[in-house]
Structure 1
């Protein structure tokens, strides 16, 4: 029932929900006929049923089962009669009603405005929200929330993944609150097919959990946007001078590549494994990489973004190497084991191709019935200086 001016009315929800062992807050407001003189003193009392006193300023008036468990948290001078019950019991069902006694004025019991409590023995699992598909190396935010009835002792939310958490609390209706924890982290390859778990710990009960499996997407060329910006700038298709200078700076810093090599770099960025084996992809990759003069960091990012796509489930269980040659060797071994084509790889041979520039190649061994040919046209392009006795 709503509060009306200058009448004996009260507003409480007909029912509130609480967890056994936790606390509960019963929201309550009341009104009374305004006397000529402003009241100086109020006494608030709560009853269970018709006569059992569960709250009274004089503790001796409270029945034993509720003594020390109830507190009037509202300010009666502000017409707020909200009640808190601690250590909720299954027997704390009600119904409950409020009574006010105004000094030198009237007294009134709001027996027609009652509230009951639905007591549960176990909490609901938290609600977990995270994107269906996440990108490798791209910052991600996940959120976990749970409703509760005890703002002074809200549930503790924890995550199975490291990151930066933040917590917010929000008051809902009918004596309910919601606490939300947001976790920000950057997914890695080892997160693929792993569970992201949020655990809610309520006082006095067993923790409850909710989990979702992360699907980490690997197939995104990390630096394609940088090269595309440069291409647009150099071709005069509307990029500003400032944009062009920033693009050039990015190219120099990340790829250590002169302007004359940008076409080769763009071709390499467009290279895709598609349905080919990793071994076949690597042959084209190494050939094109020779013309770009990219540094090892850029080449590592480029090949990992493409080759991890095909074998991400298998690679998720591996400890990834941090250098290009070892990464290529690992992906070839896994890919070969899966499709039965490549059975062995040789140790990379370092070729000096021009001046101080060198390039590592390795031979991919397939079953004997498959002919392996190192094409003369490929050797002509880098024109390598090979020392077969030293492997360099």
Structure 2
């Protein structure tokens, strides 16, 4: 490879006694990958540049720039590397930053039984090695993803026979934790028809809410309110008795919850039953007054009262 004037104009090489770093403008120095090691293992090359800008023959590391996981699920952060010591048989140290995980692996370690690892949450935390460093795989497994796991991660490898033999990716991998939609609350606000029904849902991306009325007919929303950064609330006004369904959807799935609307709440019950009860009470009072007033005047001892009075 013969660099041209144009290539030299957009690239620069930094060489020191223990570090080689290559960056591409407009990248700045703290975004390039760094490799430490003796100079006889570090011949400078301007070809084969990797993401992040380093171009060191023999040493390399790959991590994807971004990865997405779902809350509650597990995920593997990929990280693979290569080094210029093919016959290396010493211990290998794996470090994931920001200081959440480190592990030391030797040739005597059985595959899949890396028990001498420590994490930011103690020995039995949510992190474990998903790859085998002896096969150039530093991938990290994270269980039970949480929203706060959304951040940037960087992996580092150290060949412990010489602590200067180390490589770290400075650009890192950005983990974004998203979430399937879920309905947090479905509330029927009591009152006479029409009544209002409120539905609160969460998810990342924030879900869209659709209302379905009786027979699956879509109902237009009355009010749309965004609460927390991952929540939304929608209110509808309904005037028909029946079952109404709140449906929340985003790219990761769908959630539904239903509520019956009818003469079941206290205000509706009073409005419908109270007039009927008053009519019934009025009818009973009238019937009772007729029995008390009309019966005694009808007869007295088998003789009509009007006749009995005239005979006296």
Scaled by the length of structure 2, the TM-score of the pair is 0.34
Higher helix share: 1
Larger Rg: 2
Higher strand share: 2
